Amino acid sequence: MQHLPSLPDAPLPGNRVQLGRDTKLKLDCGVELGPFPVAYCTYGALNEDRSNAVLVCHALTGDQYVAEEHPITGKPGWWELVVGPGKPLDTNRFFIICSNVLGGCLGTLGPTELNPETGMPYGLSFPVITIGDMVRAQAMLLDHLGIEQLFCVIGGSMGAMQVLEWASRYKDRVFAAIPIAGAARHTAQNIAFHEVGRQAIMADPDWHGGDYVSHGAIPRRGLGVARMTAHITYLSEAALHRKFGRSLQDRDMLSFGFDADFQVESYLRHQGSTFVDRFDANSYLYITRAMDYFDIAAEHGGSLPEAFEGTKSRFCIISFTSDWLFPTSENRAIVHALNAVAANVSFVEIQSDQGHDAFLLDVPELDKVLAGFINGCAERRGLGR
Amino acid sequence: MQHLPSLPDAPLPGNRVQLGRDTKLKLDCGVELGPFPVAYCTYGALNEDRSNAVLVCHALTGDQYVAEEHPITGKPGWWELVVGPGKPLDTNRFFIICSNVLGGCLGTLGPTELNPETGMPYGLSFPVITIGDMVRAQAMLLDHLGIEQLFCVIGGSMGAMQVLEWASRYKDRVFAAIPIAGAARHTAQNIAFHEVGRQAIMADPDWHGGDYVSHGAIPRRGLGVARMTAHITYLSEAALHRKFGRSLQDRDMLSFGFDADFQVESYLRHQGSTFVDRFDANSYLYITRAMDYFDIAAEHGGSLPEAFEGTKSRFCIISFTSDWLFPTSENRAIVHALNAVAANVSFVEIQSDQGHDAFLLDVPELDKVLAGFINGCAERRGLGR
């Protein structure tokens, strides 16, 4: 069994904590981690009986900056529509936690962190991680914060995978669970799109077998292409059509060249190039791999209901009509499994033409569904109205 | 006005002819071509009154080897299910022609052809071409073959775009038109996927600004990634799921690495790497660009019916239920436009879960629809039953 070397015990900026000092985190691949850093943000205050904590789980390229300015891009937090005073996750009532996932690149241990043995980033010597590993690292963070039970665990896309993993693995620690635009497994098409992105990164000579930092390089072009591909899958054709149609970019006529003639080309190039400034290529490889490996039924003898047997959590499953990456059918499969074990489950398919990204956007019905479910659960949990 | 230099008048192997000796081909971008080579294959025999000719238009990565072994891959012709003795396009009755498109890489003038002025391939000095240019080159080939009117013009995907262009531009030369899995314009999502492919190619340092031949290089990795992305769009999620699901490749357990764990990954890598052996990267750039530029209504003041005003051709429009790249809605828009000008039009949406590629596959209903429509038209045209 491989054992990753410990990181130096230096003071860490912001909310960053070393976990796994005493009990290490045993990854699904067999490697043991500890101590290792986890970076996180919190909003609101923990109440006296520690019953109002909400864990927000971020998506593939998300981070812990849910409701505050992003330190690199300077943009607002990615879920300020949902988290804040008077919002469905009301920071006047709840204590909101979001941690950068294991394998990430914003403070939690991932392939960009320095290996103290070599003084260089881990790169591809970092172990392959799973959604289960991410969730167990989050559980260690909650232990550290003295939070026994979460009032709610919530997230969209890869965040929804973590929510399902939480509800399955820690049945006593989750009062309410809200997986949005998720799936209980990554489909063949999802794996295929991820594989294209990984191949684009690994094809970039600036990737240097994952060792780009020692070469003073960044695989900008490969990571940009990966992001462009993924970005198309996050939007619906209707959303792309409404946003761009066949409109030309800063010109009246076709250029008869390979510049960005169409606005949609220019938009995608921009998405690709700005992404490179805030995200690490190896992290992208590791996190997409974790999503591909996710198949919660497989861990339970192929039975999805088995994964939730005995749950007492309240579930609200949410999907969007135009989401073709994590379609309603995949979300309905979760509902069926929960029904099969007589779980307390609501299911809402929200009409939206914005595609998978709808969970991040201003969709009034999402706001209403979240507020209603969260308020109802809060009352049940004795947190008032 | 730029004028491309003429190619040397050397004897060309197989069916390859120099067109545009007297009257040059004026491209939509303004460049004039001629003489230029067009490579083509034929099957069956032209009848005495030259009324039984069928033009098959190939798709993006297709070629003229419709019903014979491919000279590079050694695989059977790409449409032997449809073209051959006793097939819907019965070579005992019809004279079938298929030419490599302008911009292609199998004998017709394209960026791989040598520029006689430099002795090197044109590369990016090749002019950007359009679907209209491809079709006008085909019309010149028919003139050369002495064929005034086509009994039928047929094709799938980009082939369908050429069919529509033929029916719109040469109203007297098309008796029957069969656009399959096509569209009257490339959508924003389609442009977006093409742009990812182009960016992947151009990001490959072996591309050398399009001048890879002088550098003795081939942008294998970039073209491979482009093909992988495109290939996903040609299949439905259902087809990918049925073919691969989450099955592992030559192993019982996850590898916890970045090798191809899943069969779908291994399949895509194979698709990417074999494609490079039979297709040219610059051709891929030019042909995808031609598809992106396609918008037949735009050439007629924004009115799609206007494009077909006065047509006397018989149309059969065919779409597939699971085709999300060229969906039924886009095909229906063509039908509506044809109805608006009182054209003779049938429309069939075929139930298939195989996605866009269904037009290339063994779909019995497609076979039946084609045979029925073609036989009916043949009788009308006096070609017997």
Which residue in chain B is spatially nearest to A186 when comparing CA positions? B246
Q: What does the DSSP assignment read for A304-316?
A: HHHHHTT---EEE
Decide if B124 touches A, using CB distance below 8 A. yes
**3-state helix vs strand vs coil in chain B, percent to 5:** 40, 15, 45
Which residue in chain A is spatially nearest to B226 when comparing CA positions? A196
Catalytic residue among B51, B157, B168, B322: B157
**In which band, very low, low, confident or very high, does the pLDDT at B4 lie, cut at 50, 70 and 90?**
very low
Q: What is the pTM of this model?
A: 0.94
**In which band, very low, low, confident or very high, does the pLDDT at A2 lie, cut at 50, 70 and 90?**
very low
pLDDT score, position B190: 97
Q: Are B187 and A240 a contacting pair at CB < 8 A?
A: yes
Average pLDDT on B44-54 reads 97
Structure tokens at A209: 């077998």
pLDDT score, position B250: 86
Of A187, A191, A163, nearest in space to A307 by CA: A163
* Maximum Cα–Cα distance across chain B: 67
- pLDDT of A296 above 90: yes
Q: What is the mean pLDDT of chain B?
A: 94
Instruction: Say which of A29, A185, A264 has its CB closest to residue B191.
Output: A264
* CA distance to A134, B68, B80, B287, per residue, from B76 (Å): 49, 6, 7, 23
- pLDDT of B56 above 90: yes
Beta carbons within 8 Å of B315's beta carbon, 6+ residues apart? B167, B176, B177, B178, B179, B338, B343, B344, B345, B346
- pLDDT of B134 above 80: yes
- pLDDT of A331 above 50: yes
pLDDT score, position A3: 30
Average pLDDT on A253-279 reads 93
User: Which 262-301 residues of chain A touch chain B by CB within 8 A?
Assistant: 262, 264-265, 268-269, 272, 285, 289, 292-293, 295, 298
pLDDT score, position B11: 41
- pLDDT of A10 above 80: no
pLDDT score, position B9: 40
Beta carbons within 8 Å of A65's beta carbon, 6+ residues apart? A41, A71, A77, A78, A98, A106
* Residue with tokens 């990430």, as numbered in its chain: A104
**In which band, very low, low, confident or very high, does the pLDDT at A8 lie, cut at 50, 70 and 90?**
very low
The full set of domain ranges for chain B reads 16-189+298-380, 195-289
CA distance B315 to B76: 29
CA distance B277 to B270: 11
- pLDDT of B102 above 90: yes
Looking at chain A, list the stretches that DSSP marks H as alpha helix, in order from N- to C-terminal side.
131-145, 158-169, 188-203, 220-234, 237-243, 263-278, 281-293, 304-308, 328-340, 364-380
Structure tokens at B31: 């460049």
Nearest 5 degrees, angle CA A52-CA A54-CA A59?
Answer: 175
Q: Are B240 and A189 a contacting pair at CB < 8 A?
A: yes
Peptide bond into A35 cis (omega under 30): yes
User: Which 304-343 residues of chain B touch chain A by CB within 8 A?
Assistant: 324
Which residue in chain B is spatially nearest to A247 when comparing CA positions? B188
Decide if A28 touches B, using CB distance below 8 A. yes
Mutate to test the interface with B, among A102, A128, A234, A237 (most CBs of B within 10 A): A237
Our CA-based measurement puts residue A139 at a distance from the nearest CA of chain B, in whole angstroms, of 22
Mutate to test the interface with B, among A211, A246, A289, A293 (most CBs of B within 10 A): A246
pLDDT score, position A385: 73
Decide if A248 touches B, using CB distance below 8 A. no
- pLDDT of A17 above 90: yes
Catalytic residue among A51, A99, A157, A168: A157
**In which band, very low, low, confident or very high, does the pLDDT at B379 lie, cut at 50, 70 and 90?**
very high
ipTM: 0.92
User: Contact, B352 vs B321, CB < 8 A?
Assistant: yes
CA distance A184 to B151: 53
Average pLDDT on B38-61 reads 97
Catalytic residue among B133, B323, B352, B357: B323
**β partners of residue B72:** none
The string of pLDDT tens digits covering residues B271-294 is: 999 999 999 999 999 999 999 999
Average pLDDT on B208-225 reads 95
Structure tokens at A326: 């994590």
The string of pLDDT tens digits covering residues A147-169 is: 999 999 999 999 999 999 999 99
The string of pLDDT tens digits covering residues A28-80 is: 999 999 999 999 999 999 999 999 999 999 999 999 999 999 988 889 999 99
Our CA-based measurement puts residue B310 at a distance from the nearest CA of chain A, in whole angstroms, of 27
Structure tokens at A80: 């300020």
The string of pLDDT tens digits covering residues B143-189 is: 999 999 999 999 999 999 999 999 999 999 999 999 999 999 999 99
Q: What does the DSSP assignment read for B182-230?
A: --SB--HHHHHHHHHHHHHHHHSGGGGGGTTTTTT---HHHHHHHHHHH
Fold of B16-189+298-380: Rossmann fold (3.40.50)
User: Which 218-237 residues of chain B touch chain A by CB within 8 A?
Assistant: 221-222, 224-225, 228-229, 232, 235, 237
CATH of segment(s) B195-289: 1.10.1740.110
User: Contact, B130 vs B290, CB < 8 A?
Assistant: yes
Average pLDDT on A354-371 reads 97
Beta carbons within 8 Å of B301's beta carbon, 6+ residues apart? none
Beta carbons within 8 Å of B320's beta carbon, 6+ residues apart? B181, B328, B349, B350, B352, B354, B355, B356, B358, B359, B363
The string of pLDDT tens digits covering residues A90-149 is: 999 999 999 999 999 999 999 999 988 888 899 999 999 999 999 999 999 999 999 999
Of A147, A133, A154, A128, nearest in space to A59 by CA: A154
Q: Is A356 a catalytic residue?
A: yes
Q: Is B125 a catalytic residue?
A: no
Average pLDDT on A257-261 reads 92
The CATH architecture one would assign to domain A16-189+294-380 is: 3-Layer(aba) Sandwich (3.40)
The one-letter amino acid at B172: D
CA distance B285 to B219: 12
Give first-to-last CA distance, chain A, whole Å: 50
DSSP state of B3: B
Structure tokens at B283: 């051709």
The string of pLDDT tens digits covering residues B285-330 is: 999 999 999 999 999 999 999 999 999 999 999 999 999 999 999 9
Catalytic residue among A58, A186, A194, A356: A356
